[in-house]
Structures are given as C-alpha cells and as structure tokens.
C-alpha cells in the first residue's frame, strides 16, 4: 500500500486522479489539496464520488509526507515549487507541462517565460510507458505528457521509428472542453462553447514541441475545440517513405503495440468505428491508434483518447503502476462505453 497525495485536487485532473486512486487496489489517498475549498468535502467538487469517500480538501500548506505526490496544478506553477515538493514525497508525478521538455530553450519558446528549475530537468523521465517503460521502473521524477501530445506521439512514433514516413508531419487536433480545466473563463461558457468548432490554435500548438521531442519529427500542429466534454483526437498527415505502404504501416503498428495494455490498433475496413474516436473511450485508459493510406504516398494517422485519463490522470496512474511494479492495469480496468 502506498500513501499518496494529490495537489490541485479540486481541478478536473485532480478529480480524475481521485476517482482512479480511490479505486486502486494498492494506493491509499492520504491527502487532497485545494486552496479555495480547504475544509470542504471532495464530493462537493466531484459529485460522482458521493458515497465513495468522506475525504475533505486540505490546504496545500498543510501537506505532510507521502510515498507519492501527484501534481495537478497549472503549468508554470510547479517548477518553482518542485524543491519543496521533493522534501515531502519520494516519487513525484507532475501532470503539468513544466518538466516535459528537456530543452529549456524550447520551453521558453512555447510557454513564453524562462524555466525556473533548469537543473532539475535531467531528473525527470517522460511518463509514457510505451516509450520509456524501463526507465520509469526506477523513476522518482515523472513528467506526464500533455493530452494531445500523448495522442500525437502514440500515433506517429512507430512509423517514425521504423522509417516509414518522411520527417515533416502536420497534426490537426480536436479537443473537448474539459481540456481547459475547471477554472476556465468566459470562452467556456456553455452558450459559447456548445457546438463550437473553435480553431483556438491555428498554428504552433504547444504540444508540437513534446511530439517533436519524442518522435524526432518536425511537427506543425493546430487545435480545434469541438463539441465534447472529454476526448482528444489527432489527425496526422505524413508522407510515406519510398517503398512503404499501408501494409507495412499495419505490420509496424501491430508489432509496436502488440504487448501494450492500453494501446489498440484500430484501422478497419468496415463498420461505423473504423478509425479511433474518443466518444467510446470516456473514462478508459485506452489510446486507440489507426491509419489509412491513399495509394499515392499520403498517409493519415489517427489517435484518440480521453484527455483526463490516458491523456493525464490515467496515464499517471499507469506510470505509478510501472514504478511500483504493480500490474500495469491495476485501477485502470474500465473499458469505456458504447453507445455513449
């Protein structure tokens, strides 16, 4: 049994961590913080947890010592506090963007301010078991990647690694509204956001930096908010390398993900759900990955996941399972719903 704490527990990622960790056979949630709601019951902020817990939020200042700490705070809020957090927990899973990028210069370019803890950057392992499982087994500093980044990396990496595509790719990402967090502003008012197709990042979405770093590709990424609460989908366009075809792509993906507990290859020729789609993934830790080629060297790759689960909290729990040597599916067995 590991005693864990969640910082930023009143947010959407915090709430999802709570849902997953309360149901985890090996973890005990010892503390959940909220500045705003300290003293209040956690099921006030997260009504799905009614009847499952009597926990109340504590102020971040009153944290004690834990085996593991999950940071679900906004980006740029954790880098300055990491030294403090390191004093109260052995293992830290940071879900913010602060320690994902190895190069502080790239961080500055995408986040608009200098990194405040450059010396700590090398301690972090990117929390993507599909790429870094071995290093994660012993990692005490884990930087969990962004939701669209995880989708993009899992969509592109096998093709890139096998040399099946040329290095220039574009990504069109679509996302639900929970990606903006529980403290989103008027742009997320229901009457404005409902039914939207909002190209909020026509160029240079931040996650292109993470995807570039992990795949070695040169990535151009746009992002559009569409009608959904949960869910991210990326549609990637690449050019097949000379000699490559859809069949070779299928073989590479089948091989890369055969043993993965949470990646499924979905590239069907029939049926309604031929390519990955988030609506059947809500609540599940799956990332579905698929592709289609047009016969003229254009390859489209598609991935889908639940931004709060495989795109965040679930992936962090999977990393914890790897780190502690627990079964990788522990606490993550929910399959997703159809219809939904």
Partner 1 sequence: MIACPECEASVDLPDAPRLNEILECGDCHAELEVLSLEPTLVGLAPEVEEDWGE
Ligand X SMILES: NC(=O)c1ccc[n+]([C@@H]2O[C@H](COP(=O)([O-])OP(=O)(O)OC[C@H]3O[C@@H](n4cnc5c(N)ncnc54)[C@H](OP(=O)(O)O)[C@@H]3O)[C@@H](O)[C@H]2O)c1
- Non-local (6+) Cβ contacts of 319 within 8 A are 93, 127, 129, 136, 139, 142, 144
* Residue 29 sits in the site that holds ligand X (CB under 6 A): no
Binding test (CB under 8 A) with partner 1, winner from 104, 167, 181, 283 = 181
* Residue 339 sits in the site that holds a second copy (CB under 8 A): yes
Phi, psi of 143, rounded to the nearest 5 degrees: -105, 105
> In terms of Cα–Cα distance, which of 110, 105, 146 is closest to 128?
146
* Residue 187 sits in the site that holds ligand X (CB under 6 A): no
Show contacts with partner 1 in window 91-110 (CB under 8 A): 97
Contact 180, 159 (CB under 8 A): no
Contacting range for partner 1; rule: CB under 8 A; set: 81-89, 158-166, 172-180, 325-333: 172-180
Cβ proximity to a second copy, 83 vs 183, nearer residue: 183
Show contacts with ligand X in window 3-22 (CB under 6 A): 7-8, 10-14
> In terms of Cα–Cα distance, which of 121, 73, 106 is closest to 208?
106
Measured between its terminal Cα atoms, the distance across the chain in Å is 34
Contact 142, 124 (CB under 8 A): yes
269: partner contacted, choices ligand X, partner 1, a second copy, none (Cβ within 5-8 A by kind): partner 1
> And the tokens for 227?
């009608």
Binding test (CB under 8 A) with a second copy, winner from 87, 247, 269, 270 = 270
Q: How far is the CB of 151 from ligand X (least distance, A)?
A: 11
Sign of CA dihedral 223, 226, 230, 231: negative
Measured CA to CA, the distance from residue 210 to residue 74 in angstroms comes to 17
Binding test (CB under 8 A) with partner 1, winner from 251, 298, 335, 337 = 251
Contact 201, 222 (CB under 8 A): yes
* Residue 194 sits in the site that holds ligand X (CB under 6 A): no
Show contacts with ligand X in window 89-118 (CB under 6 A): 95-97
State whether residue 129 is helix, strand or coil: helix
What are the strands of the beta sheet with 218-226, ordered from one edge? 197-201, 218-226, 168-175, 232-239, 298-305, 287-293, 263-265
Q: How far is the CB of 260 from partner 1 (least distance, A)?
A: 15
* Residue 192 sits in the site that holds ligand X (CB under 6 A): no
Show contacts with partner 1 in window 220-239 (CB under 8 A): 223, 225, 232
* Residue 280 sits in the site that holds a second copy (CB under 8 A): yes
Contact 159, 245 (CB under 8 A): no
* Residue 160 sits in the site that holds ligand X (CB under 6 A): no
Q: How many residues bind partner 1 (CB under 8 A)?
A: 37
Cα 251 from chain centroid? 26
Cβ proximity to partner 1, 15 vs 225, nearer residue: 225
Contact 55, 14 (CB under 8 A): no
Catalytic (active site) residue 319: no
Cβ proximity to a second copy, 116 vs 261, nearer residue: 261
Query: Which residues form the interface with partner 1 (CB under 8 A)?
Result: 39-41, 44, 54, 75, 97, 112, 146-148, 173, 175, 179-181, 185, 187, 198, 200-201, 205, 223, 225, 232, 247, 250-251, 254, 265, 267-271, 274, 307
Which active-site residues does the annotation give?
Answer: 147
């Amino acid at each position: 049994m590991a005693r864990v704490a969640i910082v930023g527990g009143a947010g959407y990622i915090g709430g999802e961590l709570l849902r997953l960790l309360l149901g985890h056979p090996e973890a005990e949630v010892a503390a959940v913080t909220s500045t705003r709601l300290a003293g209040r019951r956690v099921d006030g902020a997260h009504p799905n947890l009614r009847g499952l817990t009597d926990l109340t939020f504590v102020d971040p200042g009153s944290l004690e010592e834990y085996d593991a700490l999950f940071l679900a705070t906004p980006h740029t809020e954790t880098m300055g506090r990491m030294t403090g957090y390191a004093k109260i927990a052995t293992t830290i899973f940071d879900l913010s963007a602060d320690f994902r990028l190895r190069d502080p210069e790239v961080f500055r370019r995408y986040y608009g301010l200098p990194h405040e803890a450059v010396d700590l950057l090398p301690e972090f392992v990117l929390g993507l078991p599909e790429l870094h499982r071995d290093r994660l087994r012993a990692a005490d500093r884990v930087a969990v990647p962004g939701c669209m980044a995880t989708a993009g990396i899992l969509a592109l990496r096998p093709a890139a690694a096998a040399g099946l595509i040329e290095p220039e790719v574009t990504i069109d990402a679509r996302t639900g509204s929970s990606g903006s967090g529980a403290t989103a502003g008027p742009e997320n008012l229901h009457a404005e956001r409902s039914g939207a197709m909002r190209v909020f990042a026509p160029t240079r979405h931040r996650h292109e930096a993470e995807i570039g770093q992990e795949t070695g590709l040169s990535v151009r990424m746009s992002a559009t908010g569409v009608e959904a609460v949960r869910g991210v989908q990326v549609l990637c366009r690449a050019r097949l390398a000379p000699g490559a075809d859809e069949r070779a792509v299928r073989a590479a993906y089948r091989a890369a993900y055969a043993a993965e507990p949470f990646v499924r290859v979905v590239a069907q020729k029939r049926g309604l759900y031929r390519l990955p789609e988030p609506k059947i993934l809500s609540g599940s830790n799956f990332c579905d990955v698929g592709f289609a080629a047009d016969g003229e060297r254009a390859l489209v790759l598609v991935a889908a996941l639940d931004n709060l689960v495989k795109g965040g909290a679930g992936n962090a729990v999977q990393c914890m399972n790897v780190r502690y040597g627990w079964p990788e599916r522990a606490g993550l067995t929910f399959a997703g719903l159809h219809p939904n």
